[in-house]
Amino acid sequence: MVSSRCKKRLLVLAFCALLSLLFLYKVQQERTDYVTLLHKQTKDFSGVISNRDKSFTTKETSRDKRRDKTEDDDDLFGDNDNDTDQELKTIPLEHVTEPPRKIHKGLEGNDEVEDTLDWLNEHGVNTPSSPSYEETALGNQAPDPDKLPSTAKPLSRSKKGIKPTVSNPVDSRTSESQTNNSHSSPLLTLPSTTQQLKPERVKTPSEHREPSTKVDDEESATVESSTNQPLDIATAPSSTQPLTTERDKNLDTELNSTFSSVLFTNATTGTQQDHSSPFSTPYTSLSTTGEPTPVYTPTPEQNTCKLPKLDPWDFSIKHLLKDVGNDPGCRNGYPVSAFDVIGNRLVLSGEGDGSSIDFNHVKVHTIHRDQGDDNSVHYENQGNPFKSSTQEYQPSKVINASDFLILDYKLKSGKDITTYLARAVPQQDVIEESKLIREKLNEQGENEGLGINVLLLGIDSVSAANFRRKMPKTLNYLKTALKTYFMSGQTVVGDATTPALTALLTGLYETEPPEGRQGYSNSAPIDKWPWIMKLYRERGYVTMMAEDDPTMGAFNLRLMGFEDPPAHHYMRPFWLALENKRERDEPGLCSRSTFMVNYTLDYILSYFAAYPDTPKFTYSFMSYLAHAHPNHLSYADNDILRLLHTFVERNHHNNTMIVLFGDHGSRNDEVRNTMQGKLEERLPWLSISIPDWLIRKFPPIGSALQHNQGIISSPFDMHATLRHILTYPKGPEGEKTQSLFTPLSVTRTCSDAGVDDHWCPCLEFTEVDVKSPNVVGGAEMVVKYINDVILNRTELLRRSCAEVQLKKIVKAVRYKPNDKLQRFSSTNQDSDGAVNFGEPTSDSSHYRINFMTSPGDALFEASLAVRNDHKVIVNPSISRTNVYGNQPSCILRKEPYARKFCYCKDMKH
C-alpha cells in the first residue's frame, strides 16, 4: 500500500509537472511568434549596408579623435571602439534577424579568418561580426518593445563586447571551443585577442537546409587527404559545352567560347622547391591587416550569385589611392587654339584673338582614311580658307571634305601654331538614305522599336568603385538630373578590352565569328562580324564609332581591324594622324593645349547637332585616360559632366539612352594585387539613363531596370538590350542571354550571364597556404603551360622569348564555384588552341594562384583545378597583374596575344 504521505508527494509532483508543461508550451508559442516576426522583418542586406553611416554611438570615441582628418568618414565597417567604457544605445534582437557573418559563406569557422577579424576588432576596425558594425549597418530603427516576446531581451554593449541579456544565454562552451581552436595563419602573423561572445540567433531555413561550413570542411578534408600524393595527369575525354560554336566543336585548333583549360601531366609533388613568400611583399603592396572582407547580399536560393558590396575606400587600398585633381595641365606651355569649327566653317573660338593672327598664313589639311586600310591615312591640302585680300577676320569658306582637320596658322608675332580639329560634317546622302529606309519600314508596317537615340560612352579600365571614387560630380548629375539606373552586378566576360567590346557590339565571344585575330591563319578583317551598328543602319539610323588610342585599339591590336569604315562617322583616321605626327604627351592626356578626352566629347556633340532629325547610334570608347593610370579618371569628371549638361540643355537627353560604361576595372596597378582590386577588375561601371517619358509610356522597362540593378549581368545582356530597342515590345531573338529591359532571375548565376568561372565575382574564397603541395604543383603546371603551349606556338615565339621560371608564389585561395562545373577544353584568346582536354570531376579542388616568374618579375594570376585523382587542370585565362612595359617588344606586333607572357631574350643583354 502507498502511504498517504507518498500520495501527497505524487500529487504535488504531478501538479508541478503540469505547470512545467504549460510554461514550456507558452515559451514555445512565444518563440514561434518571434520567428514569424523575424521572417516578416528580414530585409535585404544590401539595404542594411547602404545605411552604414547611421551609427548608434552617442558620442565621439577617443579613437575617432585621433583619426586623420583627411580620412574618409564613409567607412564600410563604421566605427568601433573597444578602448572606452562609453554607454551605447542598444539593439533589440528583433533587428538582428540576419546579422552579418564574419565573412561570406564558405569561410565560417576558418581559424585564420577568425584571427584576422579579431585583430581588426581590437585595433578599431569594425568587421561584419563586431557589435558596432551591426549597430551601424542596421541604423536607427527602433521596434516597438511591446512586440518583442518575453524571451527576447535587448543586447547591451560593454567594454568587453556584446553581453547577451536573453533568458537562454550563449553557451559558454561554444565560445571556449572557438577560442581554443583559433590559431594564427601561416601567411599572416596577427596579435592574439580574446574571442568575443556571439549572440545567439535563429537560423534561417536555408541554413538548416544546407550548412555551408560542412561542405567546406569536407572539401578541406578531401584536399588534405591528397596532398601527399603526386599530382599525376592524364588527358580526359572532351564533352559538349553550351554556347560553343560548330567551328569550336569540329576543329581542335579553335578556341572555346566560354571556358578553357589544359590538362598537364608530371606535376611536381610536395617535395618541391619552396616558392612561398610572406603575405605582404613589395610586389603586392598589401596592408598587414590582410585582405578586405567583402560583404555579400543574402539571397533566397543556395545557387544565387552573391555580389560583393565593395567600399571604394576600403582600408586595404586606401594608401594606394591618389587624388590628382581635375586639371590635367594641358595648357602648361601651349597657347589655346584661336579657332573652332561651327557649321563647317572656321570661326574664332571664345578665347581667340583675331587681331593677333596673320590671316595670310593660314593653311588647312584634311585627314582621310586610305581605301581598304585601317592603319594608314593621307592628307589633302585645302589651302587658305580665309580671303587673303584682307587682314580683318571674317568666317572662312565651308570646309566639308572631311570630319578631321589640321590647321596651321601664324601669329603676327611670327609664332607658328598647329591645331587639330574634329567635328561631324552632316552627310546629305546619309540623311536621305535614313529617311527612305524609315518611310519604307512604315509602309510595310514594320514600325516596332522605341525609336530613341543611343549613346554608348565607354572608358577603359573603369571599375564601379573607381567611378565612385573619381567621378563624384558626374555621379551626382546622373542621380539628380537624369533618370539613371546603376547596374552594380555588371561583370566581365574575358581578359582585357576586346572580349568585353566584342560581346557588347556583336553578342558573341571573339572566337565565334569568322577568324579575325592577329597572328592566326586564315585571319581576315572583321567587317563580316555581326556588328550592332549594321542593325541600326538597317533601321534608318546614322552611326558613329569613335575609339581613341589607335595603336592599342580593341579591334586593331588583337584583331585585324576593318577593311571599310564600320560606321558613317569613323574617328580612327583622326587618332592615327595624331599618333603619326606625335601630337600627344606620354601619359596620353594632352595634345598641345587640348585635353584629348574633349576631342571625343566635342565630336559627339557636333554629331548630335549635325543630325537633329535623324535617329543616331553612337559608340565611343576612350582608352588613353585611365588605362595605365586609374587615378587619372578624375581629370575627366568636369568634362563628362559638361557633356551631360549640354545634352540636357539641348534636350538631347529626352530622346536618347545614355550608357556610361567601363570594360573592366584596373588590371595592372598596385590595387589590382589586392583582393579588393581583383573584385574591382571584374565589376566595371555601367549606368543607363533613360528618358522620363519612355519610362512613363513603358512602365515594364523601368521596373525591369530597377529590378536588375543588383543582379549579375554582362555585356551580352547589354547587347541584347541594344537589339531590344529596335524590336520593342518584341524581344530580340537568338541572344545568349537577355535584355535588361526584362527582369533577370534573382537566382541568376555567372553561367546564366555567359561569364566563365575565372571572371565570376560571385565565387567564395578561402585563403590557403602557399606551401601547400596542391598550390606549388599547380603553379608549376601553369608555368609549364606558359612555356610549352603559349610560348611554343610559333617559331618566332620560340626564337624570341625566354623560358620563364617560377620565382615565388605570392598568394593562393581555394574557391567554390557557384554553379556546376563547366567543361574545360582547348584554350582562349591568350593561348594556343591546338589541344582539347577533359572536364574536372565533381570532387575537384579549385584554386586561384598569384605568382611571380623570372626573368622580368612578371606577376600572374591563374585559376586551376586539382582533382582527387591528382590531375591538374589549368585554365588558360591567365591574367598579367603588373605592367609588362617593353618586355615583349620583339613580338608585340606579330604575336600580340603572347605579349603578357613573353620576355624578349635580347632584354637580358
pLDDT of residue 839: 47
Q: What are phi and psi of 105, to 5 degrees?
A: -55, 135
Higher pLDDT, 241 or 606: 606
- pLDDT class of 164 with cuts at 50, 70, 90: very low
**pLDDT of 740:** 98
Q: Tell me, what's the pLDDT at 869?
A: 79
Per-residue pLDDT at 513: 96
> What pLDDT was estimated at residue 308?
83
Question: Residue 489: which of 818, 761, 294 has the closest Cα?
Answer: 761
Instruction: Using the predicted structure, report yes or no on whether residue 25 has a pLDDT greater than 90.
Output: no
pLDDT at 400: 87
Q: Does the pLDDT value for residue 485 go beyond 90?
A: yes
Residue 416 CA to residue 412 CA, distance in Å, equals 9
Confidence band for 596, pLDDT divided at 50, 70 and 90: very high
pLDDT band at 855 (very low <50, low <70, confident <90, very high): very high
pLDDT at 536 over 50: yes
> Cell numbers 593653311 label which residue?
363
- Candidate ranges 138-152, 246-260, 353-367, 387-401; pick with highest mean pLDDT: 353-367
Q: Residue 904 in contact with residue 888, Cβ under 8 Å? A: yes
Q: Omega before 732 cis (within 30°)?
A: no
Average pLDDT over residues 849-861: 95
pLDDT higher at 810 or 254: 810
Q: How far apart are CA 865 and CA 263, in angstroms?
A: 9
The predicted pLDDT at position 250 comes to 33
- Parallel, antiparallel or unpaired: strands 377-383 and 357-369: antiparallel
Banded pLDDT at 445 (limits 50, 70, 90): confident
Q: What pLDDT is attached to residue 816?
A: 65
641-675 confidence digits (pLDDT tens): 999 999 999 999 999 999 999 999 998 778 888 88
Kind plus residue range of the DSSP H or E element containing 404: strand 404-411
Q: If you average pLDDT over each of 469-473, 824-828, 843-847, which comes out highest?
A: 469-473
Give residue-wise pLDDT tens across range 272-290: 344 333 322 222 222 223 3
What is the average pLDDT across 388-396? 65
Q: How confident is the model at residue 721 (pLDDT cuts 50, 70, 90)?
A: very high
Query: What pLDDT shows up at residue 314?
Result: 86
Query: Residues 6 or more apart from 256 whose CB is under 8 A from it?
Result: 241, 244, 248, 511, 823, 825, 826, 827, 828
Residue type, 43: K
User: What is the mean predicted confidence (pLDDT) over 436-465?
Assistant: 95
pLDDT per position as a tens digit, 92-139: 323 323 333 333 333 334 443 444 444 444 444 444 333 333 333 333
> Which residue did the predictor score with more confidence, 301 or 320?
320
Q: In the predicted model, is pLDDT for residue 612 greater than 60?
A: yes
* 304 vs 581, higher pLDDT: 581
Query: Looking up cell 547589354, which residue turns up?
Result: 718
Residue 397 DSSP SS3: coil
State the average pLDDT for the chain.
73
Q: What are phi and psi of 49, to 5 degrees?
A: -65, -35
Between 116-130, 282-296, 375-389, 549-563, the lowest mean confidence (pLDDT) is in: 282-296
pLDDT number for residue 195? 33
**pLDDT tier at 831, thresholds 50, 70, 90:** very low
Share above pLDDT 70 across residues of the chain, in percent, rounded to a whole number: 65
Q: How confident is the model at residue 502 (pLDDT cuts 50, 70, 90)?
A: very high
DSSP track, 788-812: HTGGGSSHHHHHHBPPPEEEEEEEE
Q: Convert the pLDDT of each residue in 215-237 to its tens digit.
A: 333 333 333 333 344 443 332 33
Backbone φ and ψ for 778, nearest 5 degrees, come out as -65, -45
Q: What is the DSSP letter of 208?
A: H
Q: How far apart are CA 890 and CA 907, in angstroms?
A: 9
Higher pLDDT, 153 or 735: 735
- The pLDDT of residue 169: 34
pLDDT band at 12 (very low <50, low <70, confident <90, very high): confident
Q: Is the pLDDT of residue 246 over 80?
A: no
C-alpha cell at 242: 553550351
CA dist., res. 132 & res. 464, Å (int):
27
Q: Could you report the per-residue pLDDT of 858-883, keeping only the tens digit for each?
A: 999 998 888 877 788 898 889 999 98
Instruction: State pTM to two decimals.
Output: 0.64
Where on the phi/psi map is residue 127: left (φ > 0), alpha (ψ -120 to 50), or beta?
beta
pLDDT of 409: 92
N-terminal to C-terminal alpha carbon distance within the chain: 110
Show the domains of the chain with their CATH numbers: 339-422 (no CATH), 428-753 (3.40.720.10), 764-904 (3.10.450.10)
SS3 of 531, please? coil
Residue partners of 89: CB distance under 8 A and separation at least 6: 56, 57, 58, 135
Q: What is the mean pLDDT of residues 178-188?
A: 33
Give helix 472-480 / helix 637-649 axis angle, nearest 10°: 20
Residue 498 contacts residue 505 (beta carbons within 8 Å): no
C-alpha closest to that of 296 among 476, 44, 532, 505: 44
Each residue of 180-210: b (16+ CB within 10 Å) or e? eebeebebbebeebebbbbbeeeebeeeeee
Tens of pLDDT, residue by residue over 33-83, are 544 444 444 333 333 333 433 333 333 344 343 334 333 333 322 333 333
The answer to whether 322 touches 631, Cβ cutoff 8 Å, is: yes
Assign 516 a pLDDT band (cuts: 50, 70, 90): very high
Omega cis (within 30) before 896: no
Q: What pLDDT band is residue 388 in, cutting at 50, 70 and 90?
A: low
Q: 620 φ, ψ to 5°?
A: -135, 150
| pLDDT for residue 31 | 57
> Strand 569-570 vs strand 377-383: parallel, antiparallel, or unpaired?
unpaired
Q: Which one has a higher pLDDT value, 326 or 131?
A: 326
Amino acid at 484: T
Residues 193-200, mean pLDDT to the nearest whole number: 34
